[in-house]
Amino acid sequence: MQIQDTLSATFAATFGETPVLIKSPGRVNLIGEHTDYNMGFVLPAAIDKAIYLAVGPRTDRQLHFIAADLNSTYKGSLDSLTHAAKGWANYLLGVVDEVNKLTPLATGLNVVFGGTIPIGAGLSSSAALENGVVFALNHLYNLGMERVSMVKLSQRAENNFVGAKVGIMDMFASMMGRKGSVIQLDCRSLEYAYAPLQLDGFRIVLCDSRVKHSLVTSEYNTRRAECEAGVAMLQAVYGDSIQSLRDVTIDMLNQHVRDQEPLLYRRCAYVVLENGRLLDGVADLQRGDVAAFGQRMYGSHEGLSKWYEVSCPELDILETIARNHPGVLGARMMGGGFGGCTINLVREEALADFEKTIREQYKAQTGKDTSIYSCVIEDGTHIL
């Protein structure tokens, strides 16, 4: 039985109705990490790992959510949208809260959800869930929201209700994804373009460190604050022409930040260089030069690990094993960091040996097992 059929059956058994079924995918990001909240560029795509939601409107003001994979239920009301003790429910409540601010909802919502996105692997299961809920409300209550408005609403839900100051990349990739293409997104203007990803003979492979450090939210917010502090130093010199690290050059940092604030310098320089790597990397892919792109992925990892300091020993080990494998063109940690996955470009004929090598060497060096996923680029959030 497919996952959506199981969720549909649970929905029918619980609520006595046939649900609307929604699929909302996780994401990868080829390059451009920690650039989104600095108003820079990212290169993500939606993937074939997704959250599935069975949804239906209610006739009263209740909210009834079932997390099928966790065997956990939340019951609440539109009249008391407060934080739930069950952490997962806050992603749904945050979206309901933000929708309610725009268009007060007269009646509540039933949701049964589950999925194939490994939790805590940095593949954006939370953004997928948020997108699924706003998509459901938009559809069920004819709210007339465009996709990009739904993306922004999901981000507000996570920033305001869940309390994670994330950028826009994850929601954007999950909602706007297109089969076979990566999204070149300018996080300042939200202009975007689809670029067909022609990786003939290569596969995108994710290696899950199976590490999730508790530092992730606090360190993420600290990095944001460090970038803002660097921007403030340059604003003192250049005025309002500097709005974000997007407006900053390495020369500016060398002149006004490097000697005064070496830590802020490393953080800001990483972001400025990462934006450059992304733009050069897009040109590599347009030329079909996957090898050159792969080298930029290694550069990205080094910056994230040594300058931005959001990697961890396990991710560094996965990247090094990959870099030493002859079938790999590029590898790097992906997402917020401090755990989760590396993303690897692997030659198809080397896939089996790559997997074996990663499993054996990662176990030998860390004592841990890894999960390895070969992924395919899919469409964004949609009704099944």
Q: Three-state DSSP class for 150?
A: helix
Q: How far is the CB of 30 from ligand GAF (least distance, A)?
A: 11
Q: Are 67 and 301 in contact (CB under 8 A)?
A: no
Q: Would you report the helix, strand and coil content of the chain in percent, each value rounded to 5?
A: 50, 25, 30
Q: Three-state DSSP class for 152?
A: helix
Q: How far is the CB of 42 from ligand GAF (least distance, A)?
A: 7
Q: How far is the CB of 114 from ligand GAF (least distance, A)?
A: 22
Residue 31 or 145 having the CB closest to ligand GAF: 31
Length of the chain: 384
Footprint on this chain of ligand GAF (rule: CB under 6 A): 33-34, 36-37, 166-167, 169-170, 335-336
Amino acid identity of 364? Answer: A
Q: Which residues are catalytic?
A: 170
How many CA atoms lie less than 13 Å away from 106 in the CB half-sphere?
5
Helix 89-102 and helix 125-140, axial crossing angle in degrees, nearest 10: 40
Q: How far is the CB of 307 from ligand GAF (least distance, A)?
A: 14
Residue 115 or 167 having the CB closest to ligand GAF: 167
CA-to-CA dists, residue 287 to 44, 98, 142, 280, 292, angstroms: 19, 43, 43, 11, 10
Residue 21 or 173 having the CB closest to ligand GAF: 173
Instruction: Pick the closest to residue 116 from 237, 6, 39, 228 (CA basis).
Output: 6
Residue 157 or 166 having the CB closest to ligand GAF: 166
Q: How far is the CB of 316 from ligand GAF (least distance, A)?
A: 17
Cα(253)–Cα(256) distance, integer angstroms: 5
Instruction: Pick the closest to residue 28 from 17, 48, 44, 41 (CA basis).
Output: 44
Residue 118 or 336 having the CB closest to ligand GAF: 336
